[in-house]
Amino acid sequence: MGINRLQKLRSLITEHGLDALLVSQPENCRYLSGFTGSGWLLISDNHALLATDFRYVEQAREEASDFEVIRVKGELNSWLPELVSDMGWHELGFEANYVSFSSYRKLSEAIKAKELNLELIPTTGLVERLRSIKDPEELELIGKAVELTDAAFEQAKSIICPGIAEKEAVWELEKYLRQHGSEEVPFEIIVASGPNSALPHAKPTERIICSSEPVLIDMGARISGYCSDFSRTLCLGEADKNFREIYDIVLRAQSAAIQGIEAGMSAAQADELARTIIEQTGYGNAFGHGLGHGVGLAVHESPTLTSNSSDLLVDGMVFTVEPGIYIAGWGGVRIEDVVTLEKGKARVLTRSGKEWRALHA
């Protein structure tokens, strides 16, 4: 699994003029090595090292068979400078977003004190770029996670009825996901009703769900590390004109994006497909987040589908398409599917219907 990924990363390392790259972001480590514990990877043209402390050494040997496992103790500054100079590396890349300022400072001081010929070069997004394009095995696992959230939504339609508290509904959904094969869910499930649904990342409360108000559900499952992400908005009983109008706009915006997205397009253009429709109806300011995000080992990863994104959409990517409209004091509507770019077009992995009506009157 790891060899092909390592080869691709090695080309990037060379392209960036580095002798080696220190990988510290946990999902990046897992992606490259299979190791799910805590540690660091050091990758050069000829070497693939996994540095970890005694708690994880055995696990590392089992999970990361393509890597040479080395046991280290303490923070980076206590072992990295010597190891790197023993290897003869001078230009060491590190992940600028995943090495803390204090680690960086201690590391720099240690290099200086030891008078080593070693330069620390900040990098961003090298492994993330590789991760954004999924191989068939990854696609299959994401597909399983998506299937499980679809099944949980079927349950949701009978769990969520007038009189249940948001928190209770969340717990029932989480139980369902876990009992049907999900690992720890990738984020706290959202069931937000009435005005609470106006908060895109609402926390579940004791609020009792009523008829004729928006009920926003957002949940994900995790299978062998791979995530799904799913949102639907229901209205129990009769929906007023306001709800029907807003729901219809969000649905049209989502369909336009799914149909219009093409490989080769920028992520910003994709965002624009949905945003234009929402703006035309006067709700532009009520769509305050991006159109979507990549999904994989992390529930939010590359690409980022926002109006200021510089990402390019290419075949093999997997991401969400999730426009929403949120009105403070009233509520919100969001509809979210996971899609994959295949033969230049978006193929929708999510199967659930997009009918706001629930069974309960």
By CB under 5 A, name the binding residues for Zn ion: 229, 320
Q: Where are any strands of DSSP class E within the chain? A: 20-23, 40-44, 48-52, 68-71, 91-95, 119-123, 190-193, 214-219, 222-223, 226-227, 230-235, 292-294, 301-305, 318-321, 324-327, 331-334, 337-342, 345-348
Minimal distance, residue 126 CB to Zn ion, in Å: 24
> Is the CB of 302 or the CB of 320 nearer to Zn ion?
320
Q: Please state, in angstroms and as integers, the Cα–Cα distance from residue 6 to each residue in 16, 105, 121, 192, following that order.
A: 15, 29, 20, 42
Nearer residue to Zn ion within complex by CB, 69 or 299 = 299
Residue 138 vs 229, nearer CB to Zn ion: 229
- 244: helix, strand or coil: helix
Q: How far, CA to CA in Å, does 53 sit from each of 25, 28, 75, 182?
A: 16, 18, 10, 29
What is the rounded CA–CA span in Å between residue 328 and residue 11? 49
Closest CA to 189 of 206, 168, 208: 168
How far apart are CB 145 and Zn ion at their closest, in Å? 13
Shortest Cβ 300–Zn ion spacing (Å): 7
DSSP letters spanning 187-240: S--EEEEGGGGGSTTPPP-SPBP-SSSEEEEEE--EETTEE--EEEEEE-S---
Query: Closest approach of Cβ 212 to Zn ion, in Å?
Result: 26
Q: How far is the CB of 352 from Zn ion (least distance, A)?
A: 15
β-strands 48-52, 68-71 pairing:
parallel
Q: How far is the CB of 104 from Zn ion (least distance, A)?
A: 31
CB of 293 to Zn ion, least distance (A): 6
Q: Which of 194, 203, 195, 198 lies closest to 326 in space, CA to CA? A: 198
Nearer to Zn ion, 5 or 334 (CB): 334
Q: Which is nearer to Zn ion, 72 or 146 (CB)?
A: 146
Angle between helices 241-260 and 267-280 (to 10 degrees): 150
- For 328, other C-beta atoms within 10 Å of its C-beta total 10
Q: Which is nearer to Zn ion, 37 or 290 (CB)?
A: 290
Cβ 172 to Zn ion shortest distance, Å: 21
Residue whose CB is less far from Zn ion, 50 or 145: 145
The nearer residue to Zn ion, 33 or 352, going by C-beta atoms, is 352
